[in-house]
Structure 1
Amino acid sequence: MSKTAGVILAGGLARRMGGGDKGLLELGGQPILRHVIDRLSPQVGALALNANGDPQRFAAYGLPVVADSIEGFAGPLAGVLAGLDWAAGQGAEAIVTAAADTPFFPRDLVARLNACASGQEHPLVLAATPDPERGRVRHPTFGLWPVALRDDLRAALEGGLRKVVLWTDGHDGREALFEDGPPDPFFNVNTPEDLATARALMERTT
């Protein structure tokens, strides 16, 4: 199998959508999650879904569902850790994560993250996009994460760390710049207005 596995992060609380699973919202005739799976699956050797609660609601997708091992909805890093623990059992050396509510990310995401990691002992890369005011914006739910650092991440989370970039910066994390827009390739659905925008984008690109 490929040394890189994929993990779709669907463990958020979706407060701005009124709760529930954003990935199960309909877009272009199928759930957003299906679009994410279709984009990420061909790029990796194995694929899992990080989600909390009853895993049976995702049974139709045929993916292993891994829950956070850190209690209290500790954010994306807890999902990354769950994915790394699963990937270790698959014999993978790294995972690439993608958010379950982001249906337009690049179909060569994994290749470009891996290319940016070239030469690193422990490849750790976050996706980033240009920003006219801040220079660039990092997307912490889209990254390449080495299985070798999973115990370090576990210790950090158990110590209360929650901010992704504090951990990645501490391990010489790099940024892979994606200049694919507009639209922003990492556009995600957080609000009902975002869902309307995504549906308009989908109509434009199909």
Structure 2
Amino acid sequence: MVTIDIPLTQGVLLAGGLARRMGGGDKPMRTIGGRTILERVIARLKPQCSGLILNANGDPARFASFGLQVVADDVPGFPGPLAGILAALDWTAANRPGVEWVLSAAGDCPFLPRDLVARLHDARERENARLAVAASGGQSHPVIGLWHVALREELRHALVVEDLRKIDRWTARYPLATVNWPVEPLDPFFNANTVEDVAEAERLAALDDAP
């Protein structure tokens, strides 16, 4: 149960990957249950965040129909989701000066929990942690987490100077809260990485959309 007032939190949907296991293209643009994966992610997170942006590289016009600001990585070479998180921290510092927290989520997770932001903040506060990440089924999902804007220069140093790429290697440097969600009736952090995953997502969408 959430026991704190939830701070203003900027959301970022990470869609900067190259989707190699899908044969290229944007995974969040795949359709399941009659709606794109990205539509489903936006619908889950928009009510939980004070604003949403999309981290993606390449031509931003392909996402124009979603009405989100598209922010590209500012570290070259597709260094992974940490670069997207850094871009979001920088954008928030420049454009939302009253916001101290950024919530990152994968753009290919269509069933995200409706209490994601609240529970992460609650755990972070209770455990006096500087970061918080989600977990389910005994597996951590470090790409789905809360990041303090004030950490952006430390993250930039890790990416640019240390060439650090793995999120869990970076989060290990800080007090970290991990929040677990149940995986029944479905794993809220299921992500559509392969063509086979999209077929499974169709089945799960029928469960998720049921009244």
Residue 124 of structure 2 aligns to which amino acid in structure 1?
A
Structure 1 counterpart of 2:203: 200
User: C-alpha separation between the residues in 2 aligned to 1:66 and 1:205?
Assistant: 30
Residue 171 of structure 1 aligns to which amino acid in structure 2?
Y
- 1:183 Cα shift? 1.7
8 Å CA contact 1:122–1:148 kept in 2: the answer is no
Structure 1 counterpart of 2:112: 105
- 1:137 Cα shift? 1.1
Structure 1 counterpart of 2:41: 36
User: C-alpha separation between the residues in 2 aligned to 1:120 and 1:152?
Assistant: 22
8 Å CA contact 1:122–1:146 kept in 2: the answer is no
Structure 2 counterpart of 1:68: 73
Change (3 A) 1:185 1:140: same
User: C-alpha separation between the residues in 2 aligned to 1:173 and 1:52?
Assistant: 29
8 Å CA contact 2:11–2:53 kept in 1: the answer is yes
- 1:147 Cα shift? 0.3
**2:21 aligned with 1:16, yes or no?**
yes
Structure 2 counterpart of 1:145: 147
8 Å CA contact 2:104–2:144 kept in 1: the answer is yes
Aligned to 2:153, what secondary structure does the other structure show? helix
Gaps of 5+ in 1: 131-135
- 1:121 Cα shift? 6.4
Aligned to 2:125, what secondary structure does the other structure show? coil
User: C-alpha separation between the residues in 2 aligned to 1:115 and 1:27?
Assistant: 32
Structure 2 counterpart of 1:123: 130
Aligned CA RMSD, in angstroms, stands at 1.6
More displaced stretch, 191-200 vs 112-121: 112-121
Structure 2 counterpart of 1:133: none
User: C-alpha separation between the residues in 2 aligned to 1:195 and 1:173?
Assistant: 32
Of all paired residues, the percent bearing the same amino acid is: 52
**2:185 aligned with 1:178, yes or no?**
no
Aligned to 1:161, what secondary structure does the other structure show? coil
**2:58 aligned with 1:53, yes or no?**
yes
Alignment TM-score, normalising by the size of structure 2: 0.91
Match of 2:11 among 6, 9, 12: 6
